């Protein structure tokens, strides 16, 4: 367990995205997709809590090695994610280092994962909002979506659905991202980085 993640404290795992069916398969919503996968593994249904959907449960092997987690999907739109996330963090008494943001990342090739603690927002509006609300010392699971082709604007690219060729591998990549979150929470950042940073 990393020194920065207090034993016994719950984890808040936040999928970043935009609410509403019209955004569901957008590249910008891959954080929601990964958190939905984790919810399926835990069992149970998301419930509304303030400006977020939340699901409480445990990750990891049965017994003392399992970790209490709160899965969350802010319902405030991407650029306002910080307020709902910080409210949940306060309510559940989660230290910043036990917050994990799962999000799309333009500067990484499609499907590639990078896990890290802290850092900048790299122009990502969800991270920008979270950092403004609670500081930068939280974990990130960065899911590569690659750069837009040709002259396509970044905003148009992230708000488009994954392409048909990308969708062929999307289930595999999101499943691997969910695995990486479980590894991070149960075994620590270094172990998760060595297993999943590709």
Q: Which residue has the tokens 């509006």?
A: 125
pLDDT in tens, 173-197: 999 999 999 999 999 999 999 999 9
Check: CB of residue 37 under 8 Å from CB of residue 124: no
pLDDT for residue 65 = 75
Contact, 99 vs 12, CB < 8 A? yes
Residue 91 and residue 120: Cα distance in Å, rounded?
Answer: 25
Choose the catalytic residue: 28, 103, 124, 139. 28
Q: Tell me: the pLDDT tens digits for 18-67?
A: 999 999 999 999 999 999 999 999 998 999 998 999 999 999 877 777 89
CA 135 – CA 180 distance, rounded (Å): 23
Residue 2 scores a pLDDT above 60? no
Nearest of 175, 173, 170 to residue 40 by alpha carbon: 175
Mean pLDDT, the chain, as a whole number? 93
Each residue's pLDDT tens digit, 111-155: 999 999 999 988 899 999 999 999 999 999 999 999 998 888 999
- Please give the DSSP secondary-structure letter assigned to residue 148: P
- Residue 73 CA to its chain's centroid (Å): 9
Confirm whether 103 is a catalytic residue: no
pTM as predicted: 0.94
Rounded distance between C-alpha atoms, residue 78 and residue 65, angstroms: 33
Could you report the per-residue pLDDT of 144-161, keeping only the tens digit for each?
Answer: 999 998 888 999 999 999
């Amino acid at each position: 367990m990393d020194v920065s993640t207090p034993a016994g404290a719950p984890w808040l795992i936040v999928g970043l995205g935009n609410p509403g069916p019209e955004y569901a398969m957008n590249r910008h919503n891959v954080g929601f997709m990964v958190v939905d996968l984790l919810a399926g593994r835990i069992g149970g249904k998301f419930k509304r809590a303030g400006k977020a959907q939340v699901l409480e449960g445990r990750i990891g092997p049965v017994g003392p090695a399992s970790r209490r987690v709160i899965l969350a999907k802010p319902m405030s739109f991407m650029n306002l994610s910080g307020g709902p996330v910080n409210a949940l963090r306060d309510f559940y008494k989660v230290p910043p280092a036990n917050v994990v943001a799962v999000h799309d990342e333009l500067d990484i090739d499609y499907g590639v994962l990078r896990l890290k603690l802290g850092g900048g927002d790299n122009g990502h509006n969800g991270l920008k909002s979270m950092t403004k609300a609670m500081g930068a010392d939280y974990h990130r699971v960065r899911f590569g979506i690659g750069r837009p082709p040709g002259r396509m604007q970044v905003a148009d690219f992230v708000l488009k659905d994954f392409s048909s060729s990308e969708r062929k591998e999307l289930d595999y990549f999101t499943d691997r991202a969910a695995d990486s979150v479980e590894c991070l929470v149960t075994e620590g950042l270094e172990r998760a980085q060595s297993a999943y940073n590709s």
